[in-house]
Amino acid sequence: MSVRKITQQLEKMIQLHESLLHVSKQKTEVLKEGNIEGLQRLLNQEQKHVQAINQMEQKRNEMVEIWANSNQLDQNTSVSTIIEEYAEGEERTALEAVTLRLAELLLDLRRQEDLNKQLTEQSLQFVRLSLDMVQPSLKNLNYGNGKTSQDSLSKRSVFDSKA
């Protein structure tokens, strides 16, 4: 097995991550608009992307393991090890480029999701503030001078009541 198959697998993962980044950017816009239905739709798409990426990652791990076995290497060989110690020439250059592109995409995706997290937290803070303003507090329920009816009942003695 050649390193080229691993490179092809990584290229497929790049495509999926680019698509996931696009969904994440759409999610940012939907969060800004406050569109709950759109957010739910995008979360479903995001979940499908994550599942596909996990499957691709398993396949990539299997391919690296098969490559390591075919070259009589340790089972724990990684793509970085292949680049540094075993790949040469054009295969090495291609594998380095694909790995670097995937790392950049992951960094972009992390930044975008951090922004989405901040927007979500701000939306929740706004909802909490709105609910606090709408819901009356216990102090404002009585219109009197702040004494509760329990206070006035405790000052009356049993002999003051009418028979």
pLDDT in tens, 65-80: 888 888 888 777 888 8
Q: What is the pTM of this model?
A: 0.75
What domains, with CATH codes, occur in the chain? 3-136 (1.20.58)
98 band by pLDDT with thresholds 50, 70 and 90? very high
Contacts of 121 (CB under 8 A, 6+ apart): none
At 161, list the tokens: 């009541």
pLDDT for the residue numbered 59: 94
pLDDT at 153 over 60: no
Tokens of 113: 């999701």
Contact indicator for 126, 39 with CB cutoff of 8 Å: no
3-state secondary structure of 43: helix
Measured distance CA(31)–CA(93) in Å, rounded: 40
3-class SS of residue 134: helix
Place of tokens 């406050």: 34
